[in-house]
Amino acid sequence: MKKKRYAAASIDHLIRCGITALAEETNKQKSSDPSRVQRLGDFELKKKLGKGGMGEVFLARQISLDRMVALKTLSKELAKKGDFVARFEREAKSMAKIDHPNVVKIYAVDSFKGIHFAAIEYIDGQSIQKWLDHLGRFSVADAVFVAIVSAEALKHAHSQNMVHRDIKPDNILVTQKGIVKVADFGLAKAMDEEVSMTQSGTGLGTPLYMAPEQARNAKHVDERVDIYALGATLYHLLTGKLPFLGNTALELILAKETGTYPTARSVRPEIAERLDLIIDKMMAKDPNHRYKNCDEVVRDLSALGLHGEALSFIDGAQPTGPGRGGVATPSVLGGTQGFRKTAGATQLPGSSTLGSMSDAAMGASRIWYVQFEDERGKTVVEKHSTGRLLKMLASGKITAKARAKVSADGTYYPLAQFPEFAKAVEDSLARKTVAIRKEDMQSL
């Protein structure tokens, strides 16, 4: 009888121990799952923002400083890899050294009850990719603006020996005030190295913007991979299309190895030839044929004078330039050399002397240098007012192929790139299309 009681007690003890162990294991699992906790150390989780290849992202409040942050957590799989965790923390600390108005800041890197995370600046806006999905493609002014600001941010990071490795529209963010911010510097590098060490070339994900040499060996790259990716991003913003396509990652990588893709200008003819050439140089297959650094990229893009002072698709975006704090340095906007948005006109390269004129004076009375082909096919240059040029477009004396500038030493740009003539050029092209269709109908 005693033996039976003892056996029953032993079984009961084992069951209780098993239940306790199971509960402890369950609690342990819950504690390592950020979606089941409300607080990670100094950070109070508010809501889940999304999930990426590295883990989940949460909106959180940093209690000690009473500020909102984005909390990026490592997935359970990555958290089990000690080498990756160490690399993640090391890269996050390196990223914290980057202090630039167009780079998303990192505030902390820590772990709490087995959950590893990084707290970064929360951006109250959305990615360039989401804007691209919405708009289809960007205006030339907006696309070049984003490229220049991103290149300035990259230039600063490169000076700190940081290579991003994952520049793409998803990693370029825009605040509600229209400030462009490059995100995920060190974190992208840590993830890239992990992928390259654990997967083959066919498992790298979809390297849509990745430089060919990075696809071959992600560990041994330099700042030129960021220049390539930024060039591919600029191409996508301008054309609404990707330069290379493939049904699989491997097909895409092989396509890039050819180095051949449709030029941006062939997809969108209004793109200036010089801008097209800059993109080609940024995306050269051989790194030695690319720009050596982002300073060169900023210089050449700024010299075009095609960028705006603010993103046109952001309501209430404040013009950003020297001393305004929205974009970094004066080199971004090249002083007065870019498009300057005003209530009634656009200031163009070489036109800084017109800055004090009233909007009315800069309207129909503005004098332009216009370059076009006459009836004999000869290229001529004449000076006309805005009103006169509009009449010439309407009468067909000049076509949409005409180019203009506002000063003798300025640069010629297609009429369609000036707000004063955009509608007239569109009407001219429409009339030409109708005329061609009539001729086709008459020939039937």
The one-character DSSP state at 206 is -
Query: In the structure, what pLDDT confidence band is assigned to residue 316 with cuts at 50, 70 and 90?
Result: confident
The pLDDT of residue 6 is above 60: no
The pLDDT of residue 348 is above 60: no
Q: Which residues of 90-129 are buried (b: 16+ CB within 10 A; e: fewer)?
A: ebbebbbebebbbbbbbbbbeebeebbbbbbbbbebebbb
pLDDT at 98: 86
**Mean of the pLDDT values across residues 216-235?**
92
- 339-345-347 Cα angle (round to 5): 30
pLDDT in tens, 118-129: 999 999 999 999
Q: Which residue has the higher pLDDT, 3 or 86?
A: 86
Query: In the structure, what pLDDT confidence band is assigned to residue 229 with cuts at 50, 70 and 90?
Result: very high
The one-character DSSP state at 288 is G
Distance CA 322, CA 334 (A): 9
Q: Count the Cβ atoms, other than its own, within 10 Å of residue 313.
A: 14
Instruction: Pick the range with the lowest mean pLDDT from 32-46, 152-166, 245-259.
Output: 32-46
pLDDT at 343: 30
Angle of helix 128-135 versus helix 224-239 axis, rounded to 10: 20
CATH class of 126-333: mainly alpha
Torsion region of 71: left, alpha or beta (phi above 0 gives left; psi -120 to 50 gives alpha):
beta
Confirm if 318 and 324 have CB atoms less than 8 A apart. Answer: yes
pLDDT in tens, 9-49: 454 554 455 434 444 444 444 445 666 668 899 999 999 98
Consecutive H or E run containing 295: helix 294-304
pLDDT in tens, 288-309: 999 999 999 999 999 999 998 8
Residue type present at position 401: K
**Mean of the pLDDT values across residues 142-165?**
94
Residue type present at position 192: D
Confirm if 95 and 185 have CB atoms less than 8 A apart. Answer: yes
Select from 3.10.20.740, 3.30.300.30, 3.30.200.20, 2.60.120.260 the CATH code of 34-121: 3.30.200.20
pLDDT at 168: 95
pLDDT in tens, 379-428: 889 988 888 889 888 888 888 788 888 777 667 777 876 778 877 877 77
User: Tokens at residue 317, please?
Assistant: 């975006």
Q: Is 166 designated active site?
A: yes
First-to-last alpha carbon distance for the chain, in angstroms, is 111
Residue of 142, 166, 170, 300 marked catalytic: 166
Distance CA 213, CA 163 (A): 14
Mean pLDDT of all residues in the chain? Answer: 78
pLDDT in tens, 193-224: 555 444 444 333 358 999 999 988 877 889 99
Distance CA 314, CA 176 (A): 7
User: Tokens at residue 193, please?
Assistant: 């190295």
**Mean of the pLDDT values across residues 224-235?**
97
Query: In the structure, what pLDDT confidence band is assigned to residue 336 with cuts at 50, 70 and 90?
Result: very low
Q: What is the dihedral of CA 129, 133, 136, 137, to 10 degrees?
A: -10
The reported pTM is 0.64
Q: Which residue has the higher pLDDT, 95 or 440?
A: 95
